[in-house]
Amino acid sequence: LLLDFRPGAGAFRLSAGIMLNGNEVDALADPANTYEAGDNIYTLAEVGELSATAEFDSVAPYVGFGFDLRRDAAVRFSFDAGVAFQGDPSVSIRTRGGTLSNDPLLLADLEQEARAFEEDLDSFELYPVLSFSISYVFR
């Protein structure tokens, strides 16, 4: 949902609004024989299957600019560039099927790893958006 402002009623426009954001990162660990979590090392049998999900805000504010070329013609071109502010990621790490899957120490170590992963993903708070469109107007 965007609101466009056209200074001087020309081809240039500024846009602001919100976008629905479904960005997420899913990961599944594939270790050789061990996992390192926190300050501890765990075997594959102790941890089992290890997966992680990073999610961003579902609604993101957006700002950008664009150009409408050939606005009065039947065939029209449009270009937009902007950035969505998708917020800080929320990371969850899950373990399943290991002998220590419910162990408080392992779960605390995985929580520590999730916070570190969130810090690594902080640079993705801003999401670049580029679009180019061609349209035809029936008269």
C-beta separation of 95 from 50 below 8 A: yes
- List pLDDT tens digits, range 94-130: 999 999 999 999 999 999 999 999 998 888 899 999 9
What is the pLDDT at residue 8? 84
Instruction: Specify the DSSP class assigned to residue 101.
Output: T
- List pLDDT tens digits, range 64-102: 999 988 777 889 899 999 999 999 999 999 999 999 999
Give the sign of the dihedral formed by CA 43, CA 46, CA 48, CA 53.
negative
114 dihedral zone (left: phi>0; alpha: psi -120 to 50; beta):
alpha
Torsion of the alpha carbons at 61, 65, 70 and 72, rounded to the nearest 10 = 60
User: What's the pTM?
Assistant: 0.73
Burial 31-57 (b: 16+ CB within 10 A, else e): eeeebebeeeebeeebbbebebebbbb
Average pLDDT over residues 38-48: 91
C-beta separation of 86 from 22 below 8 A: no
Per the DSSP assignment, residues forming a β-bridge with 54 are 25, 91
